[in-house]
Amino acid sequence: MIGALTLALAVLAQPAARPGFEESHLFRALAIERLEPEIAPQGKRVVFVRVVRYEVFLEHEPFITWPNALHWLTDEDVVRQELLLAPGDVFDADKMQESARNLRELGIFSLVRILPVKAAGPGEIGLLVVTRDLWSLRLESEFQFTDGHVDRLLLQLTERNLAGRNKRASARFDLRPLTLRLGGLYTDRRLLGEQLYLFAKALAVLEREDGSYDGFETELRVARPFYDLGQRWGFDVPMVAEAYTIRQSQAGTILTYDPDPDDADEVAIPRVWDHTFFSVEGLAQHQIGQKWVARFSAGLGFSLLDAEADVPAEHRAAFERDVLPHTFRWIYPVVGASFFANRFKVFKDLAAFAISEDVQLGPSVTFTLRAPLEAFGSSEGALQLAGNAGWTEAWAGDGLVEAAAGAKARFDPNDDTFYDQTLLLRVRGATPRSKAGRLVLRGDWLARRRDTQGSLTTLGGDNGLRGYPSQAFFAFGGSRLRGNVELRTAPYAISFLHVGAATFYDVGTVYTDFDDAQLYQTVGLGLRALMPQFNRVVYRFDVGVPVDGSGFVVRIGAETGQAVPITRSEDQLYEFSVGGLSNQP
């Protein structure tokens, strides 16, 4: 690690004809503070920490600067409280890098760089911390549309850095094919100035067709997460409460259920039911290790899932058996453990353009066990097992490769059977950067068996098969194979705008019986754009064409974020996971 740092600093100390977005800010900060990089910081004592905070708009860039008066510049102590090195400490390169990761994870900076610099005395160094604020009052958006159909439109008016104190408040408008969610969210990473985390969400669910009230979603979490790898103890108390109508649909059309498909008289019962869910857990957490980190958790939980449908009496039993999810009331102990290598690497031009992206390398394993007990008042005795394992590595410089698996199941001791068996296998990666760009590949297999939750598995333009409509192919309790190959060009900077292009090939299928599976393929072209001063997520525009022999059809899709995610930070944007392994649905 020290050798790599020394080499990086030596390169940085050399003149650069065309420094990148982050490097240009670092050079400017060195000049302003009249500091020089220290290329041999190991073993020396930190005697000062200098923080340079750039505003959103700068005079040397093609922007007007008066809007800075409408933005709260992040307070210096907000930056300093994330640093793991202070005056008097012996320099530690790992702690310096972890400090930079902590600051990037806040999501309020367009750039973060930390650099050892020379100090006056022998055996002494300083630290230069450089940040640049993102515009904090913003109309954030996430959208996905395919071939003229809106899969999702999320608009969120957010103050991401309230009073410059890294507190986030949002008003949300979330349009989905059949519903609209309206409400607010609040996040405080340093509640009362302490190492405490608070998250609160309250959303009303409305029917999209007539705007009538359909239910609610609420979430509350109070925690002391692990702010650094030296912290030994933490806790987590998450709570979720929601009640609304579930409508299983394809491209905005409600799907139906026929209890006897072999009967000539078709019965089409809408796959619609009232859903109620409540869950709360209290977990104590412990962390040990430095090179290899282990985290353990234990606690108690309560969960309730209920589902009711208005179905004709003669078909109710079949509908409850084949469509409605397994309902339960659980009171249970929960234990969990995770292990991962404390190795990280900074990449560029993976998910975004021009900005640093932290990727955890090496192996990781996570396991969770919940055990509802009838003696505690649970409606059933069961074991719920979930876990995942993966390995991520850099290769040939800044190439990336990952293999991961996640699994979950529910064991019913009454009949010695595992239900809701779900397996996710995934491989993906990216070639090193070149003048032509990167080749990105992703393949995953989602397999289901003995599904009792009425799970809808889909594949289409909204989740990796560009060139087909959203949810073009689906199966209840089914499995899915999906693969993507994408050539992403290197970004081209036009003033503050970074743009790139992509060509792609997609292939996949959804099936309940593998012998009946049929592969579907698409090819296409796309554009990517990012303004690093304002956002850390690219916007994409793709044109796809199916390759199935049925004729030439062009489908257009657009979305925030890459169509083919290859980093864990991208995965965390999705609500779907298997055994704790987040993945594109």
Rounded CA-CA distance 361/358 in Å is 10
| Predicted local confidence at residue 556, as pLDDT | 67
Rounded CA-CA distance 233/579 in Å is 24
Tally of helices (H runs) and strands (E runs) in the chain: 6, 33
Domain that holds residue 555: 345-585
Rounded CA-CA distance 337/349 in Å is 33
3-state helix, strand, coil split of the chain in percent (to 5) is 10, 50, 35
> What DSSP string describes 210-230?
T--EEEEEEEEEEEE---STT
Please give the tally of structural domains in the chain. Answer: 3
In this structure, the answer to whether residues 407 and 543 fall within a common structural domain is yes
| Predicted local confidence at residue 554, as pLDDT | 66
Q: Is residue 72 assigned to a domain?
A: yes
* Residue 125: CB atoms within 10 Å: 22
Q: Is residue 332 assigned to a domain?
A: no
Residue 330 structure tokens: 């659980």
Strand partners, 494: 497
Low-confidence ranges of the chain (pLDDT < 70): 1-19, 144-149, 533, 549-559
Q: Is residue 82 assigned to a domain?
A: yes
> Could you tell me which residues come within 8 angstroms of residue 162 by beta carbon, excluding any fewer than 6 positions away?
72, 136, 168, 169
Given a contact cutoff of 8 angstroms between Cβ atoms, the answer to whether 111 and 73 are in contact is no
Among residues 262, 296, 325, the one where a domain terminates is 325
Rounded CA-CA distance 115/93 in Å is 10
Q: Which of 206, 205, 134, 199 is nearest to 169 (CA)?
A: 199
In this structure, the answer to whether residues 362 and 454 fall within a common structural domain is yes
Residue 255 structure tokens: 């799907």
In this structure, the answer to whether residues 26 and 81 fall within a common structural domain is yes
Rounded CA-CA distance 77/55 in Å is 16
In this structure, the answer to whether residues 468 and 494 fall within a common structural domain is yes
Looking up residue 52, the CATH number of its domain turns out to be 3.10.20.310
Q: Is residue 6 assigned to a domain?
A: yes
Q: Is residue 336 assigned to a domain?
A: no
Q: Is residue 340 assigned to a domain?
A: no
Among residues 133, 150, 185, the one where a domain terminates is 133
Q: Which of 32, 47, 42 is nearest to 9 (CA)?
A: 42
DSSP strands (E only) in 413-464: 417-430, 438-449, 456-459
Residue 576 structure tokens: 């779907």
Q: With 0-12 CB in 10 A as exposed, 13-18 as middle and 19+ as buried, what is 458?
A: buried
In this structure, the answer to whether residues 448 and 486 fall within a common structural domain is yes
Q: Which of 83, 182, 185, 147 is nearest to 465 (CA)?
A: 147
Q: Is residue 333 assigned to a domain?
A: no
Q: Which of 196, 197, 149 is nearest to 176 (CA)?
A: 149
In this structure, the answer to whether residues 112 and 231 fall within a common structural domain is no
Q: Is residue 335 assigned to a domain?
A: no
In this structure, the answer to whether residues 116 and 173 fall within a common structural domain is no
In this structure, the answer to whether residues 278 and 372 fall within a common structural domain is no
Write the pLDDT tens digit of every residue in 102-120: 998 888 898 899 999 999 8
Given a contact cutoff of 8 angstroms between Cβ atoms, the answer to whether 79 and 108 are in contact is no
Q: Which of 303, 182, 191, 329 is nearest to 238 (CA)?
A: 303
Rounded CA-CA distance 483/519 in Å is 10
| Predicted local confidence at residue 558, as pLDDT | 61
In this structure, the answer to whether residues 288 and 359 fall within a common structural domain is no
In this structure, the answer to whether residues 272 and 368 fall within a common structural domain is no
DSSP strands (E only) in 461-575: 473-476, 479-488, 492-494, 497-511, 520-530, 539-546, 555-560
Angle made by CA atoms 499, 133, 201, in degrees to the nearest 5: 95
Sign of the CA dihedral with 114 first, then 116, 119, and 121 last: positive
Strand partners, 509: 481
Among residues 133, 151, 182, the one where a domain terminates is 133
In this structure, the answer to whether residues 121 and 248 fall within a common structural domain is no
Quick one: which H or E segment has residue 32?
A: helix 21-33
Q: What is the largest CA-CA distance in the chain?
A: 91
In this structure, the answer to whether residues 507 and 584 fall within a common structural domain is yes
Q: What percent of the chain has pLDDT over 70?
A: 93
> What DSSP string describes 282-329?
EEEEEEE-SSEEEEEEEEEEEEEEEEE----HHHHHHHHHHTSPPPEE
| Predicted local confidence at residue 440, as pLDDT | 97
